[in-house]
Amino acid sequence: MKSFTYEKVNSAEAAASAAASNSNAKFIAGGTNLLDLMKLEIETPSHLIDVNGLGFDKIEPAPDGGLRIGALVRNTTLAADARIRRDYGLLSRALLAGASGQLRNKATTAGNLLQRTRCPYFYDTNQPCNKRSPGSGCAAIGGVTRQHAVIGASDACIATHPSDMAIAMRALDATVQTVRPDGSTRDIPIADLHRLPGDTPHIETTLTSGELITSVTLPKPVGGTHIYRKVRDRASYAFALVSVGAIVQRDGTGRVAVGGVAHKPWRVEAAEAEMPRGAKAVAARLLEGARPTKENAFKLSLVERTLGAVLTEAKG
Amino acid sequence: MKFDTPATTNPIDQLKVIGHATSRIDGPLKTTGRATYAYEWHDRATNPAYGYIVGSAIAKGRIASMDLSRAKAAPGVIAIVTSENAGKLGKGNYNTAKLLGGPEIDHYHQAVAVVVAETFEQARSAAQLVKVDYTATKGSFDLWAGRDGAAKPPGRGDNQPDTTVGDFSGAFASAPVQLDATYTTPDQAHAMMEPHASMAAWEGDKLTLWTSNQMIAWTTGDVAKTLGLPKENVRLISPFIGGGFGGKLFLRADAVLAALGARAANRPVKVAMQRPLMFNNTTHRPATIQRIRIGANRDGKITAIGHESWSGNLPEGRPETAVNQTRLLYAGENRMTAMRLAMLDLPEGNAMRAPGEAPGMMALEIAMDEMAERLGIDPVEFRARNDTQVDPEHPNRPFSQRQLVECMRIGAERFGWSKRHAEPGKQRDGRWLVGMGVAAAFRNNLLMKSGARVRLDGQGRVTVETDMTDIGTGSYTIIAQTAAEMMGVPLEKVVVRLGDSSFPVSAGSGGQFGANNSTSGVYAACVKLREAVAQKLGFNSADAAFVDGQVSSGNRSAPLGQAASDGELTAEDSIEYGDLAKTHQQSTFGAHFVELGVDVATAEIRIRRMLAVCAAGRILNPKTARSQVIGAMTMGVGAALMEELAVDKRSGFFVNHDLAGYEVPVHADIPHQDTIFLDETDPMSSPMKAKGIAELGICGVAAALANAIYNATGIRVRDYPITLDKLLDHMPDA
Ligand SMILES: Cc1cc2nc3c(=O)[nH]c(=O)nc-3n(C[C@H](O)[C@H](O)[C@H](O)COP(=O)(O)OP(=O)(O)OC[C@H]3O[C@@H](n4cnc5c(N)ncnc54)[C@H](O)[C@@H]3O)c2cc1C
Ligand code: SF4
């Protein structure tokens, strides 16, 4: 870990402007991802801006009938919230499928969205990695890739985004509220937050330098049956090989987002039109153009089969 | 004490303390955080400096140059030790590759430097500034590629690379029912909770190492050899160990680097190996390729059994002896085994819980299941039909005790084996395909010399001192039980001190030999102490009874403590063994039963219940024994379903080198476990009549799971771990 300076801020604007005055600063929320990465010098901020005291820890009704979730709401609190459990069961279930009780007590809504990949080569600073050190190459390609992306990847990077919560947020069409160093605010649809790796896998989101997430807003409830199915080798405390988050309506229509397959939560709205025709049709459209490796090609049929099980379960 | 005739009745047979389910006497220290693990001797060194290890970034080659200037200038840095400035170092007897590498590099993450600083954080930060330029050379990292060129390893004692009995090929070729199948097991990591850790302090040329180590005497010797010190100048202290599983049998880099760091810094230095280095810097269980051929008559009698195994290791490393159990477990007149060793430039392969048998049984017990199916015989019955009460290679050598068939039958009864559908894929429970599997458990019982010292004080308190270790197994407790039984005192009157090289040399903890041998050493010392007490009190030692803190003979009786009223009484002895292990084959036996479900859509495998039935001599403490067996069963589940060090065959290292990437079972994977211990005493093994248990518990578990998966799905996977991707393409439509 490189030594760093630390400050605790008391307003969102102060946080953003502190970040603006130091291009090598980082926000710290629960610290469950950032600190691990700093210990390994995968992240090397020279300054940490602690945003825990900003009061973004409430879940409040949003004007259009949705819910506004403060960026600092802990994963445990969010999963247990009665409104979330009633109207956004998918989100609660996705959260509870992630990490462990201790980690969820610390992890925050914004931190969870911005957690970084679990590619093992990214974690080993002896290895070339375009995401960790741009231009150095990608050690994963041609190496051990069972966990890696099957779609939307590039020749520069085949990493996945590991968040469970983000899959639910994507299916729920959440929007992300931010404030920038100049004080301006904006709404970013969750679909636009995470980027595909392309030639610049180190640029993972569309946030600009010093941009602070203040909340994540869920639109008004859409009803339906909410199912989150996380598939993994061990029964708990493991990242998804593949996960399927679905909202299925009585008439068989609905939404599907998939985790463990891409650099971002994977959702193809056009594929959802196939839902009444069943899992095979949806998966075919959802994974069109997939380029798996030999080691992770199984994810294609795993997505299809898992989705099939989810749709069957939704029928009851 | 020489143990060379079968045990007769002795004070242990009273079973007043021995054989009772006693909670661990060191438990309160651990649950309250007062047990001093290697990194926690805060009162022994008030100003330690901290060392951080730099691991090699390449698997094979040379260090071209090293630039320490930035690291040296970093805040708090006191010293940096590399092979350049460490002075001449020897190599221990028990490690294959050097523990401080350079300029030659033998494997990935081999230590190339330790940075010593005032604080851990400063050492860690400076370590990243050490700049090393390497010249990499081509290495061999692929066992399959190395298989054809694999050489015949040298034999060691009874452990020979090739064994043959009768005419295997002829008998196999003419057998009416045959199996010829190849199985693979991956490299596996011990992944114990506490990493390798040491604190070193020098006083002149005398070194004290507080460390975490299973084998105090081996390691004391190897410290001396590596650092070029007389053995008397090395003191090792290791009373508490946060898990080892064979990973801490030997001297490793943490201890060497702490010692070198402390010498360079001129003050005590602590080194805890950082978790990401644990998987490539230390030892692991090597991967195997195993070919098994079994021929049988239609009545289910095996006529030919052959087992070949290929594993890899660094030059001068040893093979994984995966064929061992096949020489002993089943009858059959024509037999062969063979081991071949490929040179690989991966990290050093070495012992991990039940080396040899653990991976060997993973393969053999699938093969037995496959064979039973071909014969149309129930797998329990098939094993029973091929039971042997004698060493199949030497029919005049009986097993000292062998209750394999009893374990199988009792287990089948208790587990409800008769409810299993013989035809696979036939039992469905909602979204789950449900199956049951069985496997035999087998592990040899090893005899090792073991010593102890016992002291008696005026209050009638007995103190035991031995360099035996407790790696979380319960050694403290069973040793206290032994001394209490022998001296006729309650458990509270016994103090046990372990893991110190100034104590008598014991068997140590490994190879499931710890419990039987170390308690036998304590038994021997107590026999001597009883003689001293009797003599002091004027009793005839042969008929003196030691009961409830009193010594009595005829109608005379005196408090035990009285014997030490004018000064402590001390006795020291060792147990040593005669020929009983030559005249008799000593092994432990068991049966594992598993029921599990396989998700029909995703092929996720989830256990429902497990049972182990063990016959392993006298159970000294059913509670600690059960803990060992359920822990071993859990490790077997890991081996079956998830544990695999993933090899990057281009650059030669284990990629998943942390606990997020190397998965071991969590609670949710283990819903229900039962254990049954058969009533057994083995008079050939020791005066304790006990045998090992802790490794028996892992042997066969993974195969029982594999067989249950087959029973659930009809899919036979011969390559471990059995992950869902190996099933998916063959699963029925959901
Ligand atoms: C052992 C382990 C297992 C795990 N398993 C899972 C799992 O199964 N599924 C899963 O989904 N996750 C898992 N996680 C990841 C976990 O969910 C994340 O670590 C956590 O959600 C991150 O939240 P945090 O608040 O601690 O973020 P931090 O570590 O504090 O921050 C993460 C990143 O977000 C940035 N950031 C934080 N807050 C803001 C803000 N308000 N605005 C802008 N930027 C911000 C930080 O600068 C940093 O770059 C696991 C983690 C661990 C350590
Ligand atoms: S896949 Fe991406 S994160 Fe992994 S090594 Fe390649 S560039 Fe780095």
The pLDDT score that the predictor gives to residue B401 is 97
Q: Is the pLDDT score of B69 beyond 90?
A: yes
Q: What are the φ and ψ backbone dihedral angles of A290, each rounded to 5 degrees?
A: -60, 145
Number of domains in chain A: 2
CA dist B693 to B327, B582, B612, B633, B639, Å? 20, 21, 11, 12, 19
Rg (CA), chain A: 19
B105-120 pLDDT, tens per residue?
Answer: 999 999 999 999 999 9
User: To the nearest whole angstrom, how far is the Cα of B626 from the nearest Cα of chain A?
Assistant: 24
Residue A218, CB half-sphere, CA atoms under 13 Å: how many?
28
Q: Is the pLDDT score of B539 beyond 80?
A: yes
Atom of ligand 2 nearest to the CA of A156: 7
A205 C-alpha to ligand 1 centroid (Å): 14
Residues A173, A272, single domain; the answer is no
Q: Are the C-beta atoms of B147 and B101 separated by less than 8 Å?
A: no
Residues A189, A293, single domain; the answer is no
**A233–B663 C-beta distance less than 8 A:** yes
- Going by the DSSP 8-state scheme, the letter that residue B310 receives in this structure is E
Residues A259, A173, single domain; the answer is no
Is A129 exposed, middle or buried (CB count within 10 Å of its CB: 0-12, 13-18, 19+)? buried
Interface of A with B in 65-94 (CB under 8 A): none
Question: Read out DSSP for B203-232?
Answer: ETTEEEEEE--S-HHHHHHHHHHHHT--GG
* B649, two tokens: 């065959």
Give mean pLDDT, residues B175-201.
98
Cα–Cα distance between B150 and B312 in angstroms, integer? 8
The pLDDT score that the predictor gives to residue A30 is 98
Q: Three-state DSSP class for B240?
A: coil
Cα–Cα distance between B391 and B158 in angstroms, integer? 13
Q: Are the C-beta atoms of B434 and B696 separated by less than 8 Å?
A: no
Catalytic residues of B, by residue number, are 695
Cα–Cα distance between B160 and B488 in angstroms, integer? 46
Q: Sorting pLDDT into bands at 50, 70 and 90, what band is B541?
A: confident
Exposure pattern of A168-198 as b/e (b: 16+ CB <10 Å)?
bbbbbbbbbbbbbbeeeeeebebbebbebbe
Rg (CA), chain B: 27
Q: Dmax over Cα atoms in chain B, in whole Å? A: 83
Q: Which residue's entry shows tokens 């028996």?
A: B696
Residues A162, A13, single domain; the answer is yes
Residues A133, A282, single domain; the answer is no
The pLDDT score that the predictor gives to residue B268 is 98
Q: Which of A188, A222, A256 corresponds to the end of one domain?
A: A222
Task: Print the domain residue range for A280.
Answer: 225-315
Query: What value does the mean pLDDT of chain B take?
Result: 97
Q: Across the A/B interface, how many CB contacts are shorter than 8 Å?
A: 100
**Which DSSP helix (H) or strand (E) runs through A193?**
helix A190-193
Q: Which positions in chain A touch B647 (Cβ < 8 Å)? A: 144
| Residues facing B104 on adjacent strands | B62
Q: Which of A189, A222, A255 corresponds to the end of one domain?
A: A222
* A161, two tokens: 């985004």
Q: What are the φ and ψ backbone dihedral angles of A199, each rounded to 5 degrees?
A: -90, -5
Closest residue on chain A to B132 (Cα): A126
The pLDDT score that the predictor gives to residue A20 is 87
Note whether A121 contacts B: Cβ–Cβ < 8 A.
Answer: yes
Residues A17, A150, single domain; the answer is yes
Q: Domains plus CATH for chain B?
A: 11-35+448-575 (3.30.365.10), 38-352 (3.90.1170.50), 391-446+583-730 (3.30.365.10)
Q: Are the C-beta atoms of A167 and A112 separated by less than 8 Å?
A: no
The pLDDT score that the predictor gives to residue B158 is 87
Note whether A43 contacts B: Cβ–Cβ < 8 A.
Answer: no
The pLDDT score that the predictor gives to residue B497 is 98
The pLDDT score that the predictor gives to residue B733 is 86
The pLDDT score that the predictor gives to residue B345 is 98
Q: Is the pLDDT score of B673 beyond 80?
A: yes
What ipTM does the predicted assembly reach? Answer: 0.97
Task: Count CB atoms within 10 A of the CB of residue A288.
Answer: 11
**B124–A144 C-beta distance less than 8 A:** no
* A10, two tokens: 């008391």
Q: Measuring CA to CA, which residue among B425, B621, B451 is closest to residue B527? A: B451
Question: Read out DSSP for A237-280?
Answer: SS--SEEEEEEE-TTS-EEEEEESSSSS-B--HHHHTTGGG-HH
β-pairing, B2-3 vs B61-67, is unpaired
Q: Three-state DSSP class for A37?
A: helix
The pLDDT score that the predictor gives to residue B46 is 87
* Cis before B103? omega within 30: yes
Q: Is the pLDDT score of B734 beyond 80?
A: no
β-pairing, B587-599 vs B432-444, is antiparallel
Residues with CB under 6 Å of ligand 2 are A 117, 119, 121-122, 129-131, 138-140, 157-159, 201
Residues A86, A11, single domain; the answer is yes
Q: Are the C-beta atoms of B197 and B39 separated by less than 8 Å?
A: yes
Higher pLDDT, B18 or B156: B18
Q: Three-state DSSP class for B557?
A: strand
**A308: CATH:** 3.30.390.50
Give mean pLDDT, residues A45-60.
97
**A13: CATH:** 3.30.465.10
Query: What value does the mean pLDDT of chain A take?
Result: 97
Cα–Cα distance between A235 and B706 in angstroms, integer? 18
Exposure pattern of A17-43 as b/e (b: 16+ CB <10 Å)?
bbbbeeeebbbbbbbbbbeebbebebb
| Residues facing A262 on adjacent strands | none
Q: Is the pLDDT score of B289 beyond 80?
A: yes
Give mean pLDDT, residues A264-284.
97
Q: Which of A222, A248, A265 corresponds to the end of one domain?
A: A222
Is A301 exposed, middle or buried (CB count within 10 Å of its CB: 0-12, 13-18, 19+)? middle
Q: Are the C-beta atoms of B74 and B126 separated by less than 8 Å?
A: yes
Share of chain B above pLDDT 70, in %: 100
CA B688 to chain centre: 21
Sheet order of strands, B104-105 included: B104-105, B61-67, B131-136
Q: Sorting pLDDT into bands at 50, 70 and 90, what band is B542?
A: confident
Note whether B133 contacts A: Cβ–Cβ < 8 A.
Answer: no
Cα–Cα distance between B474 and B480 in angstroms, integer? 10
Angle at A175 between CA A174 and CA A178, to 5 degrees: 145
Report whether residue A239 contacts ligand 1, using a CB cutoff of 6 Å. yes
Task: Count CB atoms within 10 A of the CB of residue B110.
Answer: 26
B591-643 pLDDT, tens per residue?
Answer: 999 999 999 999 999 999 999 999 999 999 999 999 999 999 999 999 999 99
The pLDDT score that the predictor gives to residue B560 is 98
Q: What are the φ and ψ backbone dihedral angles of B589, each rounded to 5 degrees?
A: -135, 160
Q: Is the pLDDT score of A43 beyond 80?
A: yes
β-pairing, B206-211 vs B234-237, is parallel
The pLDDT score that the predictor gives to residue A297 is 98
B560-569 pLDDT, tens per residue?
Answer: 999 999 999 9
Q: Are the C-beta atoms of B627 and B27 separated by less than 8 Å?
A: no
Q: Which ligand gives the minimal distance to the CA of B661?
A: 1
Give mean pLDDT, residues A161-182.
97
β-pairing, A212-218 vs A175-179, is antiparallel
Residues A271, A300, single domain; the answer is yes
Angle at B203 between CA B202 and CA B209, to 5 degrees: 40
CA dist B53 to B101, B207, B360, Å? 12, 20, 35
Give mean pLDDT, residues A284-300.
98
Q: Which residue's entry shows tokens 């007389």?
A: B230
Question: Read out DSSP for A91-116?
Answer: HHHHHHTSS-HHHHHH-BHHHHHHPP
Residues A117, A243, single domain; the answer is no
* B558, two tokens: 């005196």
Nearest residue, CB atoms, B602 vs list A123, A239, A305? A305
Nearest residue, CB atoms, A306 vs list B75, B602, B669? B602
Residues A25, A58, single domain; the answer is yes
Cα–Cα distance between B376 and B371 in angstroms, integer? 8
B33: CB partners within 8 A, 6+ apart: none
* Cis before B721? omega within 30: yes
Interface of B with A in 243-282 (CB under 8 A): 276
Q: Sorting pLDDT into bands at 50, 70 and 90, what band is A263?
A: very high
Give mean pLDDT, residues B505-532.
98
Q: Dmax over Cα atoms in chain A, in whole Å? A: 57
Mutate to test the pocket of ligand 2, among A117, A129, A146 (most ligand atoms within 8 A of CB): A129
β-pairing, B494-497 vs B462-465, is parallel
Give the E-state strand segments of B641-733 in sequence order: 647-648, 653-654, 673-677
Q: Which residue's entry shows tokens 């040379």?
A: B62
Residues A74, A150, single domain; the answer is yes
Residues A115, A236, single domain; the answer is no
Q: Are the C-beta atoms of B705 and B607 separated by less than 8 Å?
A: yes
With left for phi above 0 and alpha for psi between -120 and 50, is residue B511 left, alpha or beta? left
Angle at B68 between CA B66 and CA B72, to 5 degrees: 170
Task: Count CB atoms within 10 A of the CB of residue A96.
Answer: 18
The pLDDT score that the predictor gives to residue B265 is 98
Q: Can you count the helices (H) and strands (E) in chain B?
A: 16, 30
Q: What are the φ and ψ backbone dihedral angles of B516, each rounded to 5 degrees?
A: -65, -45
